[in-house]
Structure 1
Amino acid sequence: MMIKLCISTLLAIATSYLFLTTPTPLSTYHSLFISNSLSSNESISNHLKTLTKRPHTAGSEANSEAASYVLSVFTSSNIHSHIASYDVALTYPLSRSLVLTPSPHEPPFSFTLKQETYEGDPYAYVADEVVDTFHAYAKSGTAIGYVVYVNYGRVEDYLTLQRIGVNVSGTVVLAKYGEIFRGDIVKNAYEAGAVGVVIYSDRKDYGGGDQAPWFPEGKWLPPSGVQVGSVYGAKGDPTTPGWASSGECERLSEDEVEKEGNVPLIPSLPVSGADGEKIMRSIGGPIAEDDWQGSKDAPTYRVGPGPAILNLTYKGQQVMATIQNVIGVIEGAEEPDRFVILGNHRDTWTFGAVDPNSGTAALLEIAQRLGKLQKRGWKPRRTIILCNWDAEEYALIGSTEWVEENREILASRAVAYLNVDCAVGGPGFHALATPQLDELIIKATQQVTDPDNSSQSIYESWTGSGSSPLDRGADF
């Protein structure tokens, strides 16, 4: 039901920029576009199952297979399509280790750094294809030092530590995910003098606290769950800042990339909530402030330094990998040189059921419905471009390289970009937009019936639920 809600809303937003060039009233095509007569929930469900049957990190064979699937759906929907490939610098983990020595009188403990499957997990048989937990573009190296707890690793958190006399220089810091970008957590730690960073998902923020059940019984991150992501501080291929990674283009060396100031200069690792809590139990020193504390049943958080010592080692490998954006084009009948672009990324760190492939499944459903409308005589007024991006998780690379390659034409012809990453995830409707699209989203949601409450529109459910108003943001 939530898939239908999300797709209906996205279709309404997309068609708000489409105009009819045949005698059939526009409202007829709008109604047909979002009706069940063109397709069913089974169609979008099959797309999602196909896209998530294997882990498919950017640069992997599985992700290339997923690109071929997207291309086949576009072309079978009578949409002129092609793959736009780029050779870009991606990093992968070669080895990782994290050893905790709680005190001089206790033996060291080596973390497994492994995410566990669960009983009945239908994907356990391909779990070994999941890339090891790591930070993309992390600095390779070894860091050894007393542990200091730095809350979320913000600048103000370091000022708090400075105020109470805690020196971070030469330590390995333990930080919580949340509040700021993980790359800034590492950057702030380096600027404070730390030699390494461990970032964990605190149970209070991501595990449902001390009461709520975690997955698969509930929605919360399980104790062994780890947030993987990039610590690169810019967008696009780090070796081609500002220009497309195509052909025999000029590239920066690794030393030149480092001088750009966007890659971390100390090693880091992401760990689970369970591992983070184990480290926390070994930290002494002053008690952290109340708003730095964890769940009610968590240990008392102290800031250190020590007596615990962490030994962190990470070795990564940078390779030139081919990424594949899938591009589909439906030419406009009246303004073919004006573009309405709908996009989402395909790559993921693991299986990507929500992020991103609930959005890719939505994109494919939209493509199929647009194809069926074309068979009934409909044509858009403006050209529609459907984009399935690659390597978004690393640094928005696929979309950035495509824009850099087509910068001039997009600057003069693009009308709007609609992004459908994480199309479905929990109850309710949420949207982010630039101010120019506010009115469009409001009108679109007013035209679509809430599938969970047929007596009102999505707009009425949205505004009546106390949800946040339209926010500003992008992930493409």
Structure 2
Amino acid sequence: VQQSVALEGSVLLLRAGKISFAQQVDNAAKKGAIAVLIYPDPQDYKLVATTELYGHVHLGSGDPYTPGFPSFNHTQFAPTKSSGLPKIPAQTITPNTASALLQKIGGPDAGGNFKGQLESVLYKLGGIKNITVEVNNMLVNKEIHNVFGVIKGFSDPDRFIVLGAQRDAWGQGYAKATVGTSVLVELAKAFHEMVEKDGFRPRRSLVFASWSAGEYGSVGATEWLEGYMSSIDKNVFTYISLDGVVMGHGSFIASASPLLYSLIGITMKEVTGPLGSDKMYQTMGGNDWEAKVLRPMSMDDPAYPFLAFSGIPSISFHFISVDTEAYPYYGTNLDNMDHLNYQTNQHTSEITAAAAKFAGQMALRLVHDHRLFLDVSRYDGLSTAVRQIYKRVIQLSQSGQLKGVSPSWLNQARGSFQRAAGSIKLAIKNTDSSDLEAWRILNDRIMSVEHSLISPYMSPVETPFRHILFGHGPQTLASIAQTNDTEQLRTQLALATWTLQGCANAMMGNIWDLDNEI
């Protein structure tokens, strides 16, 4: 684009890497491209030149023909295409095929960001040769089955956390599916033995979920979320993803709801690292652990539908090699035991055990303590996003582009949220640990936070990821701060204000106290 290359009517050759296939194809379609080819460049992937990448291009999750509602047998809806399905053909190709294309397409030299390490290739921008893309995928219907195991809580059995892993993969999927499934099974066995043999009595229930069709965009998990939306909203308070927990050694990263940040830090102080005797907190950054460990949750993260579609505080975490954010064999047929052992320096077993301890310790604290360990004070990202909108609205108002709109109401809603969070923090401090009914009421207030940040004004069919901070669509605070459409800004600003105020109201609990409290 910077070199004024026309993209309309073009076939785009894209390097795999920084964003998902679905986002790449969606961006290409918006620029007027007619097809996309995606290849792994040797600069990013240390693969043999004939290696194929696997992945999906659905900018969403779940069954793409039943967006926003479950594809159960009794669902009486005509098939409806998801708005996230690609509007142009897309196909992954090998480095060899990409090299052959680059040698023929000609055109001006490519910029530094596109140039990679394909051998004997001059990276060109094309425009000389005509390329025809023919994709011969076959659409077939397949029945899928999720598998669940449950340990019921003894005090609040209707409140539960979910630990989940996808069990299928294109190719061998050792790091992607096998390790996560083995951790899931071992955790289920360990908690069962604690109850049966050690007298452990969890207050809340644990659900162990083995998801089907994860490779196609978390289909099994999303269909479950869609099928039991009303009960899940009230009962599930945390999701822990076990997908891809072991990808290397020496480093550790996590993506999560801010409500879980404090618990992540505490768990790192309690769990010993996979190699040596030091706690994870010491080896993964100490006081600076948040900057070194925490990452934004991407749309293709298996935990993302739980957070952005259902409003469930969620986490995914990965032991990874130092100075890298990716496992080079992910999504290829080379994702096998030998390659993972190579990446972990032959310590796959020890790192897998550490991953199980980390997930298990988080789950144990969440189901055992009288207090629901979700920290509402960690949602400072809301204030940052509101300030960006405030600045944007003032800027547009002063330039005359936007009239009759004030950001002050959104700012007041932010203040209400902060006061409600302070009220919960004070209640935690003052509530007697033996008063079970008081704690259940307080925990319900805490549980309401994430779900109340799901915009009730957006259609789950058109905009499934409705979370105003972590979602995808015009309702997000980031989108409101960036849009040039003043009518959209006006509407979405009002809706975001009421969403945030509604969240603050839910956090306060009794509605007759709201006017005086917030």
Question: What's the TM-score, normalizing by structure 2?
Answer: 0.54
The structure with higher relative contact order (CA 8 Å, sep 6+) is: 1
| Separation in 2, partners of 1:426, 1:183 | 25
Q: Deviations over 1:209-261 (max 9, x none)?
A: xxxxxxxxxxxx322222211111222112222221112212333xx41xx53
Asked if residue 302 in structure 1 is aligned to residue 153 in structure 2, the reply is: no
- Name the structure 2 match of 1:378: 200
Contact 1:236 1:395 in 2 (8 A): yes
Does residue 317 of structure 1 match 2:156?
no
Match of 2:302 in 1: 475
SS at match of 1:170: coil
User: Which SS does the other structure have where 1:336 is aligned?
Assistant: strand
* Residue in structure 2 matched with residue 439 of structure 1 by the alignment: 262
Q: Whose strand proportion is higher, 1 or 2?
A: 1
Q: Aligned residue for 1:448?
A: 271
SS of 2:59's equivalent in the other structure is coil
| Contact 2:13–2:36 (Cα < 8 Å) also in 1 | yes
Q: Is 1:331 matched with 2:152?
A: yes
Say whether the 8 Å CA contact 2:43–2:116 is kept in structure 1.
yes
Distance 2:281 2:97 in 1: 42
Aligned: 1:222 with 2:48: yes
Matches within 5 A, 1:353-372: 353-372=174-193
CA RMSD of aligned residues (A): 2.1
The amino acid across from 1:475 in the alignment is: P
Aligned mates of 1:242, 1:300 — CA distance in 2: 45
CA apart distance, 1:423: 1.3
How far apart are the structure 2 equivalents of 1:190 and 1:332?
49
2:170 corresponds in structure 1 to 349
Residue 297 of structure 1: how far off its partner (Å): 5.4
SS where residue 19 of structure 2 aligns?
Answer: coil
The alignment covers a number of residue pairs equal to: 296
Counterparts in 2 of 1:40-439, with a 5 A limit? 159-160=1-2, 164-207=3-46, 221-253=47-79, 256-257=80-81, 260-295=82-117, 299-307=121-129, 309-376=130-197, 377-427=199-249, 428-439=251-262
Q: CA deviation at 1:296?
A: 8.4
> In structure 1, how many angstroms separate the alpha carbons of the residues matched to 2:83 and 2:273?
47
Q: State the Cα distance separating 1:298 from its structure 2 match.
A: 5.4
Query: Which amino acid counterpart does residue 235 of structure 1 have in structure 2?
Result: S
Please state whether the residue corresponding to 2:158 is helix, strand or coil: strand
Structure 1 gap ranges (5+): 1-158, 208-220
Inter-partner Cα distance in structure 1 for 2:258 and 2:29 = 37
SS at match of 2:293: coil
Letter in 2 for 1:457: K
3-state DSSP of counterpart to 2:146: strand
Structure 1 residues 298 and 378, CA gap change in structure 2 (3 angstroms): farther
Provide the secondary structure at the position in 1 that maps to 2:85. Answer: coil
Q: Report the TM-score when normalising by structure 1.
A: 0.59
Distance in structure 1 (CA, Å) of the matches to 2:283 and 2:114: 36
SS of residue in 2 equivalent to 1:199: strand
Q: Do the aligned residues in 1 keep the contact of 2:167 with 2:211 (CA within 8 Å)? A: yes
Q: Deviations for 1:110-151, whole angstroms, at most 9, x for unmatched residues?
A: xxxxxxxxxxxxxxxxxxxxxxxxxxxxxxxxxxxxxxxxxx
Q: Which has the higher helix share?
A: 2
When residues 278 and 238 of structure 1 are mapped into structure 2, their CA distance, relative to the original with a 3 A threshold, is same
Report if the CA contact (8 A) 1:390-1:398 is conserved: yes
Matches within 5 A, 1:14-33: none
Q: Matches of 2:180 and 2:99 in 1, distance apart?
A: 34
Greater shift, 310-319 or 329-338, is seen at 310-319
Distance 1:192 1:222, change over 3 A: same
Which whole-Å CA distance do the structure 1 matches of 2:256 and 2:23 have between them? 25
Stretches of structure 2 lacking an aligned partner (at least 5 in a row): 304-518
Higher mean C-alpha displacement, 414-423 vs 171-180: 171-180
Shift in Å at residue 394 of structure 1? Answer: 0.9
Task: Read off the aligned partner of 2:254 and give its amino acid letter.
Answer: A
Compute the displacement of 1:351 (Å). Answer: 1.3
Deviation, 1:323, is 0.6
Q: Deviations over 1:36-82 (max 9, x none)?
A: xxxxxxxxxxxxxxxxxxxxxxxxxxxxxxxxxxxxxxxxxxxxxxx
**Cα contact 1:445–1:458 (8 A) shared by 2:** yes
Contact persistence 1:240–1:250 (CA under 8 A) = no
- Would you identify which runs of 4 or more consecutive aligned residues in structure 1 move more than 4 Å? 464-467
How much has 1:435 moved relative to structure 2? Answer: 1.1
2-structure distance, mates of 1:282, 1:296: 14
Q: Residues 345, 296 of structure 1: CA spacing in aligned structure 2 closer, same or farther, 3 A cutoff?
A: closer
Give the deviation of 1:193 after TM superposition: 3.1
For the Cα contact (< 8 Å) 1:362–1:423, is it kept in 2?
Answer: no
| Aligned match of 1:99 | none
